[in-house]
Amino acid sequence: MKKMRMLSFLVVVTLMFACNDEKKEVRGTTVMTEAEEVPVQTEVHDPVKADTIEVGNVTKSKEEWKEILTPEEFHILREAGTEPAFRNAYYDNKKEGVYYCGACGIPLYSSNTKFDSGTGWPSFYAPIDPKLVERKMDNRYGMERVEVVCAQCDSHLGHIFPYEGVPTEERHCLNSLALDFKQMDI
């Protein structure tokens, strides 16, 4: 009996050490596996490939928008405000990259279609894809204008005007405060 007990004890001790060793080994392997196999988390979509961008439905209350936007951004995006010409971040931005919705973060425009309109606002002749923005009639201030809003969160971006000399013959006149620019090779 004593022998048996001793044997059991030895088996248990051996197993414990074995387990410890195994754990260490497993841990080591896991780290290696993560480094080798798990891809680095980047964007889930390619911001300039329209078919990889999914347009969802982002709905928030006025209070919720106020929590995540600055008062200036809230005024432009949620109250259809307009920022001053030439005194905004992106009208003269010639860097290559993507312009995201300043409210919900979906990619909307890229530097590929940005052009210098001389108006003092960032101007694009097209979004990355037509599905990303929606057009609405805007009759405010006694003018008939086409408003452009984000298709995912319905936030105001700017207006669309006819414009000769660009492929689509229209200019998306946007507010810099409605956009977040991310510089990247596209």
Catalytic residue numbers read 173
3-state helix, strand, coil in the chain (%, to 5): 35, 25, 40
The structure tokens listed for 170 are 């229209």
Among 76, 80, 98, 104, binds Zn ion (CB under 5 A): 104
Which one of 20-28, 62-70, 139-147, 150-158 is the stretch in contact with Zn ion (CB under 5 A)? 150-158
Stretch that binds Zn ion, among 32-40, 46-54, 112-120, 149-157 (CB under 5 A): 149-157
Among positions 153-172, residues that touch Zn ion (CB under 5 A) are: 153, 155
Q: Is 101 in the site for Zn ion (CB under 5 A)?
A: yes
Amino acid, single-letter form, for residue 127: P
With respect to Zn ion, which residue has the nearer C-beta, 133 or 173? Answer: 133
- Determine the length of the chain: 186
Q: At a CB cut-off of 8 Å and minimum separation 6, what does 117 contact?
A: 123, 163, 171, 173
CB 134 within 8 A of CB 151: yes
151 binds Zn ion (CB under 5 A): no
At closest approach, how far in Å is the CB of 83 from Zn ion? 17
Q: Does 103 bind Zn ion (CB under 5 A)?
A: yes
